[in-house]
Amino acid sequence: EAQVTQNPRYLITVTGKKLTVTCSQNMNHEYMSWYRQDPGLGLRQIYYSMNVEVTDKGDVPEGYKVSRKEKRNFPLILESPSPNQTSLYFCASRPRAADTGELFFGEGSRLTVL
Amino acid sequence: EDQVTQSPEALRLQEGESSSLNCSYTVSGLRGLFWYRQDPGKGPEFLFTLYSAGEEKEKERLKATLTKKESFLHITAPKPEDSATYLCAVQAIGNFNKFYFGSGTKLNVKP
């Protein structure tokens, strides 16, 4: 089954404790992206990757890091989480960056930073 | 600045009561406008892509239309299973790596 898989789905952590949210897709997509969703603000792009070893900032990259060492994986790293990073996070992919088609989303990861 | 505004924020309908959701956009050259459905606890699920003014797409009880400044998602004779949050997003020419999403319309269809 074609899918985007995120882990963990739910996480409660404390300020400053490094964490990684993993994202994996099995569709051989070149383009992957991370979003955060907050009430009233919609989905905002954090980082995106056009292919292996090619990443760039979205609209809200502060406090986050990413890496793309393999085509299928695009982990989101919070080096020193803060309470304002409490949010619902979504990973998404599409075949190629230049496509004009849909994004395929994961199920989401709900992060709470105390 | 590219942006998307959706209205209303929430909409409550009786089963069978048709209505429309609005998505107004400002973008420096539209490459595509997308509609997604999001169920609670789930990721957004793709519904439609519209590329140019005058275009229409249909799927079951849903029909999406596009003008140069806005898009409408028309829901005809909705059923309770149509209850969800509907998201609109745009992609700009020359900046196809980014998608700008609205904050969504939460639709509740009562039986």
Token representation of residue B64: 């999406």
Token representation of residue A53: 């070893």
Whether cis (ω within 30° of 0) applies to the bond prior to B8 is yes
Q: Do B98 and A4 touch (CB under 8 A)?
A: no
Chain A residues closer than 8 Å to B23 by CB:
none
pLDDT in tens, B50-79: 999 999 999 999 999 999 999 999 999 999
Asked whether A34 and A90 are in contact (CB, 8 A), the reply is yes
Tell me, what's the pLDDT at B14?
97
pLDDT in tens, A49-96: 999 999 999 999 999 999 999 999 999 999 999 999 999 999 999 998
Tell me, what's the pLDDT at A7?
97
Mean pLDDT of B90-94: 87
Q: Do A105 and B104 touch (CB under 8 A)?
A: no
Name the more confident of B3 and B57.
B57
Give me the residues paired with residue B64 across strands.
Answer: B57, B73
